[in-house]
Amino acid sequence: MPDIFVNEKPSEVPEKKEEIFKKPETKDEVEKLPGHSHNPLSAFCFYPDGIDFETRRKEEKIVLLMRKHIVTNASWIIIGVIMILAPVVLSKFPILEFLPARFQFVAILGWYLITTAFILEGFLDWFFNVYIVTNQRVVDIDFYNLIYKEVSDAKIDKVQDVTYRMGGVIRTIFDYGDVFIQTAAEVPNFEFLAVPRPNVVTKILEDLITNGEKGLRVKIK
């Protein structure tokens, strides 16, 4: 009797790599961590290498280094490009015609000095505003402007509550948001603004608060 239906042999499905949730112990495991990066301009680095800060203690280990998401730089980059191109475009209009040629030239150089300062300030503001989570503390390094800085920290065991907020089209697309940390330390609130993967940051902080570094559970590929 002919077969009415023959079940096809199941095609071989590639075995899914097992995901392990644990604290990374070896260097190899750290290298495989999602978010681990060797890029000094990275906005999110899990167990970063070769990073140090002024008040770090010998036994202290940096778990997480964050900056504002790279997308947040778009505003000053766009304005910077417009400022660079402005003299070329404005040369079509006789705005500086009343000045002698040598003054016009110095005015353009002055404009480019201001543009340089604007771009430099935008970059340094992003680069030096970092949030660090170590196995002992939460550290917030703020570089408010070119002449003012602030470094504040709180012990992990003083952290009482961690929440994150993510909303809006751009933030959802690029997966970044704000993480708010309430502490019982001298600095009552820490705000990690516009950091990438706020849900991961919150989870890491909660793991650290609950069980210390031993309680850290991360997905290792």
Partner 1 sequence: MPADTIPILDVSIWFIAKIFVIFAILLYVVFALVVVRQVQLMTDTLEVGFETEVRLLSFVHLLFALAVLIFAFLIL
Query: Is residue 106 near partner 1 by the rule CB under 8 A?
Result: yes
Q: Per rule CB under 8 A, is residue 105 in the interface with partner 1?
A: yes
Work out how close the CB of 103 gets to partner 1 at its nearest, in angstroms, rounded to a whole number: 7
Dihedral pair phi/psi, residue 151, rounded to 5°: -120, 120
Phi, psi at residue 16, to the nearest 5°? -75, 135
* 128 touching partner 1, by CB under 8 A: yes
When the beta carbons of 87 and 166 are compared against partner 1, the nearer one is 87
State the DSSP H helix or E strand holding residue 189, giving kind and residue range, or none if neither. strand 189-196
Does 51 interact with partner 1 (rule: CB under 8 A)? yes
Q: Report the alpha-carbon distance of residue 53 to residue 195 in Å, rounded.
A: 19
The structure tokens listed for 137 are 């503390």
97: contact with partner 1 by CB under 8 A: no
Distance CA 124, CA 54 (A): 18
Of 82, 117, 170, 184, the residue at the interface with partner 1 (CB under 8 A) is 117
| d(C-alpha 23, C-alpha 32), whole Å | 12
Q: Confirm or reject binding of residue 20 to partner 1 (CB under 8 A).
A: no
User: How far apart are alpha carbons 140 and 191 in whole angstroms?
Assistant: 8
Q: Calculate the CA 139 to chain-centre distance.
A: 14
Quick one: which of 43, 63, 64, 65 contacts partner 1 (CB under 8 A)? 65
> Which residues does 59 contact at the CB level (< 8 Å), separation at least 6?
none
**Does residue 218 interact with partner 1 by CB under 8 A?**
no
Amino acid at site 205: L
Among the residue ranges 95-103, 175-183, 185-193, 196-204, the one whose residues contact partner 1 (CB under 8 A)? 95-103
Name residue 56's amino acid.
Answer: R
Q: Tell whether residue 95 is a contact of partner 1 (CB under 8 A).
A: no
Query: Which residue among 75, 91, 116, 211 contacts partner 1 (CB under 8 A)?
Result: 116
**Binding region for partner 1 (CB under 8 A):** 40-41, 48, 50-54, 65, 100, 102-103, 105-106, 109-110, 113, 116-117, 120, 123-124, 127-128, 130, 141, 143, 146-147, 149, 151
